[in-house]
Homo-oligomer: A and B are copies of this chain.
């Protein structure tokens, strides 16, 4: 294994351990020695990649960005649905995504800047909604930035509610219900009629990405990039 590959793997091992410890203990109570113990790496290796607990948390928060990729669709509204439903599916299945979302809602993490994921998700939604508007998919009164922020905020709460009442078991249903309540005030009904908004959409998109990772697209950045 090349030196660089090994460094990337070590970094991922440390991030996975940090995600686990932050999720179990919360940001405030988590310590670097716990993360070291869970990762099974040396102190030197950890500090080579991350300066501080804050830096580790920002690393976990940023991992979400790597997972905001979906295949290109002719209809941008479908891409938006795909990004949202894929994220819901990953919340059920991917510990790193779950840790990132929980960190971003950790109210006791006073010193941690938690605005990043909200802002980055806002950018992704903003980009997709601007594209959708330019392609004539949206109702004329829609302000893409405002709609994007409503979607990001609502999603954050719907996932928190799903976690509190069902430990994420009902998440796809709740997210579908949210989209069915918001999209008709945003997109043309002719566009709505062509959209797949079923509860299994997230799992479908993930299977598609796993089968052909080269189709992945990062909507916020507008460039094609491989899935990590």
Which residues of A approach B to under 8 Å, CB–CB?
25-26, 28-29, 102, 104-108, 114-115, 118-119, 146-147, 149-150, 152-165, 174, 177-178, 180-182, 184-186
| Chain B residue at minimum C-beta to C-beta distance from A141 | B180
- Residue from the list B102, B107, B162, B185 in contact with A182, Cβ < 8 A: B185
- Residue from the list B104, B159, B185 in contact with A164, Cβ < 8 A: B104
CB neighbours (8 Å) of A184 from chain B are 184-185
- Residue from the list B28, B108, B150, B181 in contact with A177, Cβ < 8 A: B150
Per the bound structure, the CA–CA distance linking A4 and B105 in Å amounts to 40
Q: Is A162 touching B154 in the complex (CB atoms < 8 A)?
A: no
Tell me the number of copies of this protein.
2
Known interface pairs A158-B153, A182-B182. Does A115 touch B29 (Cβ–Cβ under 8 Å)? no
28 A-B residue pairs with CB within 8 Å: A25-B108, A26-B28, A105-B105, A106-B107, A106-B108, A108-B108, A114-B164, A118-B164, A118-B165, A146-B177, A147-B181, A149-B174, A149-B177, A150-B174, A150-B177, A150-B178, A153-B154, A153-B160, A153-B178, A154-B157, A154-B178, A157-B159, A157-B160, A181-B182, A181-B185, A181-B186, A182-B182, A182-B185
